[in-house]
Amino acid sequence: MEGPMAGAEALFRERAERHMLRFGGRFVPFVPVRATGSFVYDAAGRKVLDFTSGQMSAILGHAHPEIADVIGHAARTLDHLFSSMLSPPVVDLAEALAAQVPGLPKVLLLSTGGEANEAAIKIAKLVTGGWEVVGFAQSWHGMTGGAAAATYKAGRRGYGPPAVGSFAIPAPLSFRPRFGGVDWRAELDDSFALIDRQSSGNLAAFIAEPILSSGGIIELPEGYLAALKRKCEERGMKLILDEAQTGLGRTGTMFAFERDGVTPDLLVLSKTLGAGLPLAAVLTTREIGLECDARDFLFYTTHANDPLPAAVGCKVVEIVLRDRLAARAAAMGAKLKAGLRTLQAEHSWIGDVRGRGLLLGLEFIDEAAGRRRSAAELSDAVTDRALELGLSANIVRAGSSGGVMRIAPPLTVSEEEIALGLALLGQAMREVG
């Protein structure tokens, strides 16, 4: 890039460096000014294929015309209210979500996944009377108090002690099992035996992602959720499932837990529910709702039950169901996964391809003979080169899962866009390798 455009970009970067506080990793060297469908564009018109759906959220692509119409109408008519003043879009969305999970008819609408996980944890503590919360050692559930205490993937150092009663167990990963010859059932039994020894008898909840995304696309094996639910029931704990990234069709079913036939006590949705706008929800049972009322549950926030994002959520649910996007995610995900496995066969330093639907991961390995770079260095280099070529894929750069590339295109992605993404990723791998 040369001339005035280059000068404007340099000035923008200088202003950003002067004023923007880093909050995790570095900012990418691409400055988007507009986005549509599966692409984002800079001021010079250069386009980048977005294989992360923004922050894993834009499941309908960018600037979806129906979503834009809903936002415009809501902005002109009913955008924000006193939180206790219920509006039709709020009740409509609660009803639409409850219809998808009949066992969880009570709904609280919030803004972010971290906020919703915070609320779910507080509910579990309130209704059980306990305060101990167990999660996975590779988890990411948010950056606020209780959610951060249940996040083990990164960010635990430098902020003082987390909430009392925070425990972690390892999530099962068949590609890198913790102990050879020990299956996930034995590992789960051993983990809970250790939890029982550490617990003071006040276990309140287990919080889990069905597929740990930031943890490195770790998919819980079939049967695991059912076994985990039994462990919770035996101890009077509530099972919280965080489906911020897996909810609303991304894994090939409306919710990831449907594959296992297990309904949690509390279900958390965010990211995908707003298709890019800040919207989250906590769903729970009628019994837990009644207990919350009896015990004066308090989680009052400025943007609880806001009508504008609720109207968007209603349209998102409508489109996902109407256009059968869960089935589309399964079909498109199968094509994408096949292409990634072809790349794996070409490069010895790609150790594993995993995930479900359109939430997939590539794990780079540093065991390949003759390699002088670590898996994290290889994966970072591939990601950086892919962006230069016109593909935005996401490397988990922080914490314990560096070296795993997350790929999550919009559910509206076309076959041609999948082919383009695979071609750009393949080129980046060849050039880096």
Q: What is the pLDDT of residues 306-337, one digit of tens each?
A: 999 999 999 999 999 999 999 999 999 999 99
140 classed as catalytic: yes
On average, the pLDDT of the chain sits at 93
Neighbour tally for 79: CB within 10 Å: 13
**Residue 352 and residue 354: Cα distance in Å, rounded?**
6
271 classed as catalytic: yes
187 classed as catalytic: no
The stretch 190-207 carries a mean pLDDT of: 98
Torsion of CA 306, 310, 312, 317, to 10 degrees: 160
Exposure string of 180-190, with b = 16+ CB inside 10 Å and e = fewer, is eeeebeebbee
Helices 307-322 + 88-100 axis angle, to 10: 40
**Residue 114 and residue 208: Cα distance in Å, rounded?**
13
Q: What pLDDT is attached to residue 26?
A: 79
Question: Catalytic residue among 118, 242, 306, 352, which?
Answer: 242
The stretch 204-225 carries a mean pLDDT of: 96
Q: What pLDDT is attached to residue 372?
A: 60
Q: How confident is the model at residue 369 (pLDDT cuts 50, 70, 90)?
A: very low
Exposure string of 269-291, with b = 16+ CB inside 10 Å and e = fewer, is bbbbbbbbbbbbbbbbbeebbeb
pLDDT tens digits for 29-56? Answer: 889 999 999 999 999 999 999 999 999 9
42 classed as catalytic: no
pLDDT of 374 higher than 90: no
Question: Catalytic residue among 140, 187, 229, 380, which?
Answer: 140
**Residue 364 and residue 382: Cα distance in Å, rounded?**
10
pLDDT of 368 higher than 60: no
Q: What pLDDT is attached to residue 371?
A: 54
Share of the chain above pLDDT 70, in %: 95
Q: What pLDDT is attached to residue 402?
A: 66
349 classed as catalytic: no
242 classed as catalytic: yes
Contact 171, 215 (CB under 8 A): yes
Question: Catalytic residue among 243, 245, 349, 354, which?
Answer: 245
Question: Catalytic residue among 187, 209, 219, 243, which?
Answer: 209
Question: Catalytic residue among 153, 315, 337, 406, which?
Answer: 406
pLDDT tens digits for 11-33? Answer: 888 999 899 998 877 788 889 99
The stretch 264-293 carries a mean pLDDT of: 97
Question: Catalytic residue among 122, 229, 250, 271, which?
Answer: 271
